[in-house]
Structure 1
């Protein structure tokens, strides 16, 4: 569990990274001595405007401390999510944004994907060169069942057949997240 101070630092770093990226400015790294922010772990940063997705990128494993990964993913989510190349976040939009940081647990491979706890665990599905993931929040936002969650990840994210998650050649990993979120207002 992140401390309240660590959560504040992560949100400050993420917001400043988004603002700098959208405005084309250089970002100055936020320094911290918080041990949990210096650990290496995966994260995703999701940006929404009035509930509408505007960017979401992340990594499952990190080569840098969490504070740096959150900063990098926040800037990338704001400017490099390929779904929004033709509709980038504008400086005028910044005050309307909400940001959500998902700090990931290590991935855990499962032989029983249907055992995932909906709304508590996310999924990462991989087969060959194809892969896709959904954060746990997606199941809550969509109201999907376990099967729908797995099937939609296969088709919509990994480009696989709907029931590929049942195939033994498909690797399914589960993970949990700790969520930190705020608005830019």
Structure 2
């Protein structure tokens, strides 16, 4: 992704959030975006305020043009992340926006916990786990806070609502990488 394309996506994210502060859903026009941003893509938009997480929403599978995906997830991160109250207008100037563009997920084949842990690439892999109706993902950036694979996996199990003390037989895992940029 070129610096110009990155900036265009960051501008789209900020405009989507600004419109949401006025109760509107803003949709960028295709003709106003670079042609490469009109291709299907998936993203996560992460918001930080004064160094602390303020919202993070995204998708693991591409289902719409990238520019629309970023606009939708920026809006959702600001106003629909269930961990936080909706963004207030006074917070907009303090907001740091980070966009992560995801590669397609690849399944990870493993026999047990140790085998899965040995396949993880700290700082590189995003990881999604699923067991029955329980699912969660961590972006590669989470390795900065949880650099040990065992701890990374423990926190991901907790996020998914899966008990770590008994290894689920039906556990599935996928890895992906991201291209990350922000303002």
TM-score if structure 1 supplies the norm length? Answer: 0.88
Displacement after TM superposition at 1:25 (Å): 3.2
Displacement after TM superposition at 1:63 (Å): 1.7
**Where does structure 2 lack aligned partners over 5 or more consecutive residues?**
111-115
SS in 2 for 1:53: strand
Aligned residues: 176
Question: What is the alpha-carbon distance in structure 1 between the residues aligned to residue 29 and residue 7 of structure 2?
Answer: 12
Question: Counterpart in 2 of 1:154?
Answer: 157
The answer on whether the counterparts of 2:16 and 2:26 sit within 8 Å (CA) in structure 1 is: yes
Question: Counterpart in 2 of 1:117?
Answer: 121
Question: What is the alpha-carbon distance in structure 1 between the residues aligned to residue 72 and residue 5 of structure 2?
Answer: 17
SS in 1 for 2:136: strand
The answer on whether the counterparts of 2:8 and 2:33 sit within 8 Å (CA) in structure 1 is: no
Question: Counterpart in 2 of 1:176?
Answer: 177
The answer on whether the counterparts of 1:57 and 1:77 sit within 8 Å (CA) in structure 2 is: yes
Question: Counterpart in 2 of 1:15?
Answer: 14
Candidates 88, 91, 105, aligned match of 2:89: 91
For 1:1-185, list aligned pairs within 5 A: 2-31=1-30, 32=32, 34-84=34-84, 87-112=85-110, 113-114=116-117, 115-140=119-144, 142-155=145-158, 157-162=159-164, 167-182=168-183
Question: Counterpart in 1 of 2:113?
Answer: none
Displacement after TM superposition at 1:37 (Å): 1.1
TM-score if structure 2 supplies the norm length? Answer: 0.89
Question: What is the alpha-carbon distance in structure 1 between the residues aligned to residue 108 and residue 28 of structure 2?
Answer: 37
The answer on whether the counterparts of 2:131 and 2:168 sit within 8 Å (CA) in structure 1 is: no
Displacement after TM superposition at 1:34 (Å): 2.8
**Where does structure 1 lack aligned partners over 5 or more consecutive residues?**
none
Q: CA, structure 1 residues 78+33, in 2 after alignment: closer, same or farther (shift >3 Å)?
A: closer
Question: What is the alpha-carbon distance in structure 2 between the residues aligned to residue 61 and residue 135 of structure 1?
Answer: 14
RMSD between superposed Cα atoms in Å: 1.6
Q: Structure 1, residues 20-69: CA drift from partner, whole Å, max 9, x if none?
A: 11232342414345343122122100001011111100001122101100
Q: CA, structure 1 residues 143+158, in 2 after alignment: closer, same or farther (shift >3 Å)?
A: closer
